[in-house]
Structure 1
Amino acid sequence: MKKYKIGDLVDDFGVSRSTINRVIDQLDKEISFKEKYIESVGDKRTSPKLINEDGKSLIKQTLGIGDDGNVDDSGEADLIAELRAERDQWRELYLDERDKTAEYAAKFAEIAGEVPNLADQAQRLQLKQMSTVDEQAGQIDDKSDGVDADSENKQGFWKRIFG
C-alpha cells in the first residue's frame, strides 16, 4: 500500500498544509484517524507522518474533492446562486435609493437657490405694505381733520329728529 507525506497531499489536492492538518485533527477527534491511517518512521515527533491510501481517500472525501480533482460544490451551487440573487436585489435597492437621493439633492439645491430671492421679495412686499399703510394713515389723518370741522356744524341724528 502506498504512503503519502502531507506535502504530497498538499500538491495532489491543491490545498494548504494547514488545511490538511486541520482535517486530520478533525478526523482524529471523530474516528481516531492518527492511530488507524498515519504511520511514523522512527521518532514520532521528528519523523515525517506517512498517510496510507485509505487515509488519503478519507481526507479527500472530507475536503469534498471529487475523483476529477476538483472540489465538489454541487450542494453549494444552489446556495451560491441564492446569495448572488440576493446580492443583486440589494444592489438594485441601493441604486434606486442612490438615484432618489440625487433627485432630492437636486431639488434641495434648486430650492436653496430660490431662498435668497424669496427673502428679498418678502422684504420688498413688507416695505411696500408698510408704505401703503403709512399713506393710508396719512389720508385718514387728512380726512379726520376735515371731519372735526364739519362735525361742529352738523347736528346729531336725534337732535335733527326731535329738534
Structure 2
Amino acid sequence: MVKRFQSGIRIMMVLIAGALLAGCGDDVGVDQHGQKVAVERLEGQWLVINYWAEWCGPCRSEIPELNALAPELEKQSVGVFGVNFDGLQGEELSKSAKALGIEFTVLAKDPAERYGLPPSDALPVTYIVDDHGKVRERLLGEQNAEGLKARLAALRQEG
C-alpha cells in the first residue's frame, strides 16, 4: 500500500514537473536590453512586427514613427515589436537598437516561425498579426503612424 502511494506521488511529481517545463518551452526570448519577454506580451492581442536593419535608410526614417505609435497602440491592446533583419544578438543588438533610437521592444528571437511570417528580401517590412496569431497584412516599405493606425482600424473592423 505504501509503495503504491509513493509510486503515485512520483507520477504526480513527474507530471507537475513536465507541465512546468512545457511552460518554459513557450519562451519568446529576450529584448534588446537582455530582459525576458513574457509570452503574454504577444498572445491575445494584435501585433505590429517591424523588421529593420541599421544599414536600411527607410528603416531609420520609420523608427521615430513606430516609437511614437507604440505607447498609443498599447492602450488599444496592440503591441509594437521590432526584429533585427540581420539576426543580431546580445550586445550587438543592443548597440544597433540604441544607435537607431528604438524605444519599442526589439525581440532577439525572430517570431517568424511562431506566426508563419513570410520571408522578405526587402526592408523595411512590417507585419500585422491579429489577436488569434494570424498574419493579416504584410506591408513592404516605409510606414508612418497614421497609415498603420488606419490599416489596423480597417483590419480590426473586418474582424
Task: Indicate the TM-score class for this superposition, using the shorter chain for normalisation.
Answer: under 0.3
Normalised TM-score (structure 2): 0.22
Q: Higher helix fraction: Structure 1 or Structure 2?
A: 1
Instruction: Specify which structure has the bigger relative contact order, considering alpha-carbon pairs within 8 angstroms and separated by 6 or more residues.
Output: 2
Normalised TM-score (structure 1): 0.22
Q: Higher strand fraction: Structure 1 or Structure 2?
A: 2
Q: Which has the larger radius of gyration?
A: 1
